Structure formats: C-alpha cells, structure tokens
C-alpha cells in the first residue's frame, strides 16, 4: 500500500486541519486511517441537524456541541492510539499566530468562507508552511497545493465577490425571483423588523422624487391603536399595490418591460379572512419549544409546495402577525436568518407576492430559503473524494515531492474521459499583493475621501485585513490593538474622520501608503493617485483599487448591469449583494464563486473529447469557457469551479 518512505513521512508529520465540517470529517477519518498520528483541528462551529446528512462523525445527540471535539472523539474510537488536538475556536483568533502555524509540516483547509481561507493563506505564507486548500459544491470540487515561492498562493487570483444587484432592479424592475427575494429580505423585512435607523431604499423608485423619507416612515409605523389585521393590510396594500401604481406612472420604465400588476389585499383575501387568518392561540398554547410558524398555524405542511398568491398572502399576514404578537421584543433588532422559520416564511411570502405582481415564477419555501440563506449544495460523496485527494497531496508535500504536486478537479460530467482531472500547479502571480511585493494603486479624491473610507472599504473589505495598521512613511496614521494608550486611540479616532489631504501627515497624489496586518504578518504598499471625479453609479465608493485585480476583461464586467463580483474596485456599497456566509463547510470552491445557488446546474466543462490530452492547457480553456458562461447570466447559478473571467489579464504560467 504505502512505501516505507511514505509511512515514515506520515508517521512523523504534524498536521493542522482547519475546519471539521463536511470535508473536515472525511479528512480526519482518512488521515487517521492513513497512519497520521499527530493531528490538530480547529473549528469554531457547533453541530446542526442539517450537517448530519454528510458530516458522518456527528449524531443527533451531538447537536449543539463543538465539531472539532466531537470529531476527535469519534475518530479515536477506531484509531485510539493517535493524537488529535481539537480547538473549538475561530482560526482568526489571535491565539493562532504565525508561531502556532510554524509547528506544522502542512496545513489542510476544509473551510466554508473566503475570509478564513484568505487569513489561513496569509499565515501559511508568513510561517512558510505548505497549504492544501479544498472546496466542494454539489458534485464539483477541487484540491490545490500552495507552497510559498513555488506555486501560486490562494490569493494570487482575485476571488469573485458576491453578486450584487443595482438598486433600481431590486426596488423597481425585478426580472428574476432572486430580485424579489433580495427585496423581501433586505428591504421589506429589514424595514419592518430591523433597525429603524438603517438606510432603506424600500420607497426609492427610479424617478420618483415626491416620496419623502418622512412619508415612508409614517407608512411602515404601526399607528396607535391600529389593529394588527388593519396594519398588515395597510403594509400589504402599500408595497404591493400603491408602490406598484406609482412605479407604473413612470411610463419610461415600462417601454421595454412587462408592466407589473398592482395587488391589493381586498382582491386576494376578503377582509374577514385576514381577520380569521390562522390561529395565534394554537401557537401560544403549544408547550413544545417548536418555533413560531405561520405555516403551522395555517396548516400548510410541505416546504416543497409552491403556494399560490392567496396562500402566500395568508402566510404574509400570518407571519407578520406572529412577529408582532409573539416576537414583539425582537422587533427593531432583527436581521434575516435562514434558520429563523418565521423570517423565512415572511420573506418567501413577500417575495412570491411581489413575483406574482411582476409575472415572475413563484417558488417554494424550500427553494426561497436556499436562495435567501445562500445555502450551499452539499453531498457526502464529493467531500469524501476531495478528502482522499487532499491526503494524497499531503503525502507528496511531506516527502517534498514537488514534481508530482497536482491540483485536482472533481467534475460532475467527464471531461476527456476524466471525472477526476489533475492539473499541474501554477507559478505564483508576480503581481499578487499577498505573496509578492507588488504595490497596489488606489485612485481617490484625496480632498473628499476620509481615512475611514480607506480603512473600512479598502483595507478591511478588499484586502481582508482584520487588524490593520496604516502608515505614511514613518508616520502611523492608524492602528488597532489592546495595548494602545488612550491618547493614541483618540488620535487615531480623530484621523479616521479627516480627509486624506488633511491628515497630520497629508496623503496626496504620489503618496505611498503602507498597510499592514500584524496578525497575518502581511504588509503591502498602496500608491495613491488623486482623481477629482468618480462615477456615482459605477464607482460609488469614490475609490478605485487596482493592481493585482486589474485586468482588461474586468472593465467590461463592471459596466454590465449586474456586478458579478470579480472587481475589487467598485463593488457597489449601494447595490445589494447576497452575502456569502454559509452555514455549511463547503461553500466557496477556491478560485471560484460561491455565489447563489438556485437550482439548475450548468455543465461547466465542455472540452472536446478527441483533442490531445494536454492537461496544462485545461484551466485556461475552462476559464475562457467560464467567462462566456458568466456573461450569460441566468438565475445566479454560477457554481463555477474555476476562475471566472477576471483572471484573464493575469496570465498564469505553468510550473516548471
């Protein structure tokens, strides 16, 4: 089975696993069976019911417990004599410093989010420890090997950011169900149950200047003494009836679009019915800790069913009522959570009523929940396969067998007769700001933008630094830390609100800023270029960051009506994005989008069968293919395995 050399390497190895989810469970099992004896595993999550279909080390009785700890115990049962050290913690905790990483021979990632992946990538680079990265979505998956200076790092190719949608598509001209979901979740739900002080575009219509925010406030506020039924009806009629009428009055908008149909509650449900709608008492009396549910009180059972307009309207009124009656205290503080049954019911119903109005296909609660919660498709088999491939690469890494490192794709449909396709790893990207010294370029109006904008929108949001420090030459402009004295903290706070050119050490065109994250031991330079004007629609941050992300293809994408990610410069803060923050282990396939799954799967690989197998050429072929697919944007189902168009400008070189 294994050669003596391999066995020695395996037995002597100390490995760190990050993630004890779907890939993690499989990986820990396979590592233990393969003879690994010193395994450390970090995971901050606790076990949930929806994990049990694939995270086979966990049982129902473990729900709520630490994944890392339960996984350890489960594996020790069949391999009692090995050492497994669990950490129920966030890998981004300052406890896991570069020195912590240095003790390992290899780090194996089975993570579920971009943020943590980037963080681990940086720490592995700083500690000079090889990293094996992995990801799966449905039947697709991949494993990549990242060795400092030898192969590309995880961030050598920019990662697509979550899809965003222009405000007017969401507020006025939805054409897909996802637009209705975003409207229901980020606008209506947020308006009714969330923080009242948050900006909310619910009443924004493309050219309607008459509706003042005051007016809007009045509509959504429940009047003194107003019955719940009446209040619900008023909201319903306002958002599905009146607002649509107002939008319709703008003829220009509908020239090339189907006109929506205003929907009023009286046409769908007689008033009496709304009054009798559901039975709150039934919910009140239930002793069982079962969650408050409009479906339950209306007797609707299957989340797979697609409700008609009337049923959706009833769910709308019922869930609104239940929020007001049963969860009054939370109102004002709620944010949408896919595990909140009532919230999912409300959002499903509201999205479906809106969809009816716009002639968009209705969806079941099950589907709506997946879209709204950005739930990732996951199966056990792909995770098992990927875990096996990780161990195979890990054994090569431990033996320093650089010539045989491979990145491997697990495909749904065979390509060149292959379901598992190995490809030689790529050289590091010479302009990668993470693993090279190449500076970034920031165009900004130094008289308007504040230091806070740079720290929040660039250093944190784009560069993924969590404990940033900003320097201009030797002058410290900003830093965070526990050991700062009061004066410094006040000083930095004051700096944040100053415009760049007004800082104690003024930042103007030609300035080179140094930003660092001490925790990640990452430092990079940003060349500042002053620019007066920015396009409000396309560059809403008033800043454009370029360098490692810059590519000619990008500009085109940015002009498209939907910002499909890929740009580090102008992901609009004023557009809606579906945040990629999943509950499951798998999520973002590295070098891929982890964007919204809505159902239909597209075939991603279509490489001609008879072409001479030249594996090195595959990724580029596949990439250019993906680019086309990305532009052809249908329902957000871009479960793309490989980089999308954004990487085209940075031509990858084959290793060796």
Residues designated as active site: 168
Minimum CB–partner distance for residue 294 and other proteins (Å): 15
Q: What residues form the annotated binding site?
A: 19-24, 43, 51-54, 67, 112-117, 153, 156, 432, 435
Which of other proteins, Zn ion, none does residue 640 bind (CB under 5 to 8 Å by kind)? none
Distances (CA, A) of 9 to 28, 70, 206, 393, 404: 17, 27, 64, 13, 16
Query: Collapsing DSSP states into helix, strand and coil, what is residue 622?
Result: helix
Q: Give the residue with the Cβ less far from Zn ion, 146 or 321.
A: 146
Pick what 197 binds: other proteins, Zn ion, none; C-beta below 5 to 8 Å, kind-dependent: none
Map residues 338-367 to x or -, x wherever contact with other proteins holds by CB under 8 A. ----------------------------x-
> Measured in whole angstroms, how far is the alpha carbon of residue 45 from the centre of its chain?
17
Smallest separation (angstroms) from other proteins to the CB of 410: 8
> Judging by beta carbons within 10 Å of its beta carbon (0-12, 13-18, 19+), is residue 179 exposed, middle or buried?
buried
Residue 404 or 559 with smaller CB distance to other proteins: 404
Q: Which two tokens stand for residue 11?
A: 């037995």
Contact string (CB under 8 A) for other proteins, positions 108-147, x = contact: ------------------------------xx--------
DSSP structure string for 364-433: -HHHHHHHHTTPPP--HHHHHHHHHHHHHHHHHHHTT-GGG--EEEEEEEEETTEEEEEEPPBPPPTT-T
Contacts of 327 (CB under 8 A, 6+ apart): 292, 334, 342
With binding defined as CB under 5 A, does residue 463 bind Zn ion? no
- 378 forms part of the interface with other proteins (CB under 8 A): yes
**Which partner in Zn ion, other proteins, none is near 435 (CB below 5 to 8 A by kind)?**
Zn ion
Under a CB-based contact definition with an 8 Å cutoff, are residues 622 and 648 in contact? no
Site string for other proteins, 418-447 (x = CB under 8 A): xxxxx-------------------------
Q: How far is the CB of 445 from other proteins (least distance, A)?
A: 45
Could you tell me the smallest distance in angstroms from the CB atom of residue 90 to other proteins? 23
Decide whether 178 or 528 has the Cβ nearer to other proteins.
Answer: 178
Could you give the string, one character per residue 156-195, with x where binding to other proteins holds by CB under 8 A and - elsewhere?
A: ----------------------------------------
Q: Which of 398, 484, 418, 427 is nearest to 5 (CA)?
A: 398
SS3 319: helix
135 near 587, Cβ under 8 Å? yes
* Contact pattern from residue 53 through residue 82 relative to other proteins, giving x for each residue in contact according to CB under 8 A and a dash for the rest: xx-x--xx--------------x-xxxx--
Residue 367 CA to residue 348 CA, distance in Å, equals 9
> Is there binding between residue 632 and other proteins (CB under 8 A)?
no
Q: Going by C-beta distance under 8 Å and a sequence separation of 6 or more, which residues neighbour residue 213?
A: 203
- Nearest approach, Cβ of residue 328 and other proteins (Å): 27
Tokens read off for 273: 């019915």
- Which positions make up the binding site for Zn(2+)? 153, 156, 432, 435
Q: Given the rule CB under 8 A, which of 25-33, 201-209, 329-337, 465-473 is the region that contacts other proteins?
A: 25-33
Beta carbon nearer to other proteins, 422 or 645: 422
Token pair 């908008």 is found at: 253
Assess 469 for contact with Zn ion (CB under 5 A): no
Structure tokens belonging to residue 158: 């920019």
Structure tokens at 527: 């060349």
Neighbouring residues of 239: CB distance < 8 A, sequence distance ≥ 6: 188, 202, 350, 354
The interface with Zn ion within residues 145-174 (CB under 5 A) comprises 153, 156
Choices 368-376, 500-508, 618-626, 647-655; region in contact with other proteins by CB under 8 A: 368-376
Q: What is the CA radius of gyration of the chain?
A: 26
- The entry of other proteins, Zn ion, none that residue 432 binds, CB within 5 to 8 Å by partner kind: Zn ion
In the list 86, 158, 370, 619, the residue contacting other proteins (rule: CB under 8 A) is: 370
Considering beta carbons, is residue 152 or 237 the nearer one to Zn ion? 152
Per-residue contact flags (x/-) with other proteins for residues 194 to 213, judged by CB under 8 A: --------------------
17 is a contact residue toward Zn ion (CB under 5 A)? no
286 binds other proteins (CB under 8 A): no
- 127 strand-pairing partners: none
Phi then psi for residue 142, to 5 deg, are: -160, 155
Closest CA to 521 of 247, 196, 126, 217: 126
Residue 162 burial by Cβ neighbours in a 10 Å radius (0-12, 13-18, 19+): buried
Q: Which residues bind other proteins (CB under 8 A)?
A: 1-2, 26, 29-30, 32-34, 49-50, 52-54, 56, 59-60, 75, 77-80, 138-139, 301-304, 366, 370, 375-382, 384-385, 387-389, 391-392, 395, 406, 408, 410, 412-414, 417-422, 584, 597, 613
Q: Which residues bind Zn ion (CB under 5 A)?
A: 153, 156, 432, 434-435
């Amino acid at each position: 089975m294994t050669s003596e050399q391999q066995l020695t390497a395996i037995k002597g190895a100390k490995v760190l696993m990050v993630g004890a989810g779907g890939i993690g469970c499989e990986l820990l099992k396979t590592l233990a069976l393969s003879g690994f004896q010193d395994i450390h595993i970090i995971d901050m999550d606790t076990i949930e019911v929806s994990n049990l279909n694939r995270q086979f080390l966990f049982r129902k009785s473990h729900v709520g417990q630490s994944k890392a700890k339960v996984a350890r115990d489960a594996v020790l049962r069949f391999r009692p004599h090995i050492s497994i050290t669990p950490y129920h913690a966030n890998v981004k905790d300052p406890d896991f410093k570069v020195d912590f990483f240095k003790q390992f021979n290899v780090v194996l990632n089975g993570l579920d989010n971009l943020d943590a992946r980037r963080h681990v990538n940086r720490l592995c680079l700083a500690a000079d420890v090889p990293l094996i990265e992995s990801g799966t979505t449905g039947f697709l998956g991949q494993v990549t090997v990242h060795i400092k200076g030898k192969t590309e790092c995880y961030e050598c190719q920019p990662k697509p950011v979550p899809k965003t949608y222009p405000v007017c598509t969401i507020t006025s001209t939805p054409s897909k169900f996802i637009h209705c979901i975003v409207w229901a979740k980020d606008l209506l739900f947020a308006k009714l149950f969330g923080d009242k002080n948050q900006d909310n575009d619910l009443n924004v219509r493309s050219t309607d200047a008459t509706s003042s925010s005051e007016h809007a406030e009045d509509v959504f506020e429940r009047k003194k003494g107003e019955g719940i039924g009446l209040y619900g009806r008023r909201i319903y009629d306002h958002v599905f009836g009146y607002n649509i009428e107002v939008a319709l009055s703008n003829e220009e908008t509908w020239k090339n679009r189907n006109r929506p149909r205003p929907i009023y509650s009286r046409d769908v449900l007689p008033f009496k019915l709304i009054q009798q709608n559901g039975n709150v008492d039934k919910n009140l009396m239930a002793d069982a800790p079962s969650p408050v549910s409009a479906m339950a009180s209306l007797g609707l059972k299957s989340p797979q069913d697609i409700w008609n307009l009337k049923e959706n309207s009833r769910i709308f009124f019922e869930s609104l009522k239940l929020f007001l009656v049963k969860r009054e205290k939370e109102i004002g503080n709620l944010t949408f959570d896919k595990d909140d049954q009532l919230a999912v019911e409300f959002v499903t119903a509201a999205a479906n009523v809106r969809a009816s109005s716009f002639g968009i296909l209705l969806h079941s609660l099950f589907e709506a929940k997946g879209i709204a919660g950005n739930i990732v498709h996951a199966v056990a088999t792909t995770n098992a396969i990927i875990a096996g491939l990780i161990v195979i690469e890990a054994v090569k890494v431990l033996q320093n067998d650089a010539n045989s490192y491979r990145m491997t794709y697990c495909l749904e449909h065979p390509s060149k007769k292959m379901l598992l396709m190995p490809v030689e790893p790529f050289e590091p990207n010479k302009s990668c700001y993470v693993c090279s010294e190449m500076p970034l370029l920031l165009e900004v109006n130094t008289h308007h933008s504040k230091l806070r904008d740079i720290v929040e929108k660039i250093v944190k949001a784009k560069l993924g630094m969590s404990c940033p420090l900003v320097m201009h030459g030797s002058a410290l402009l900003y830093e965070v830390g526990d050991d700062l004295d009061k004066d410094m903290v006040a000083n930095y706070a004051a700096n944040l609100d100053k415009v760049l050119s007004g800082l104690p050490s003024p930042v103007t065109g030609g300035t080179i800023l140094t930003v660092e994250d001490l925790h990640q031991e990452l430092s990079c330079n940003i060349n500042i270029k002053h620019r007066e004007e920015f396009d409000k629609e396309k560059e809403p941050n008033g800043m454009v960051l370029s360098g490692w992300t810059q590519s000619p293809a990008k500009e085109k994408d940015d002009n498209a009506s939907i910002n499909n990610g890929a740009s580090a410069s102008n992901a609009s803060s004023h557009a809606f994005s579906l945040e990629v923050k999943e509950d499951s282990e798998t999520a973002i396939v590295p070098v891929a989008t982890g964007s919204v799954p809505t159902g239909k799967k597209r075939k991603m690989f279509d490489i001609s069968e008879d072409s001479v197998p030249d594996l090195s050429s595959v990724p580029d072929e596949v990439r250019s293919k993906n680019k086309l697919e990305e532009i052809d944007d249908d329902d957000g189902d871009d479960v793309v395995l490989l980089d999308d168009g954004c990487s085209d400008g940075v031509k990858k070189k084959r290793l060796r």
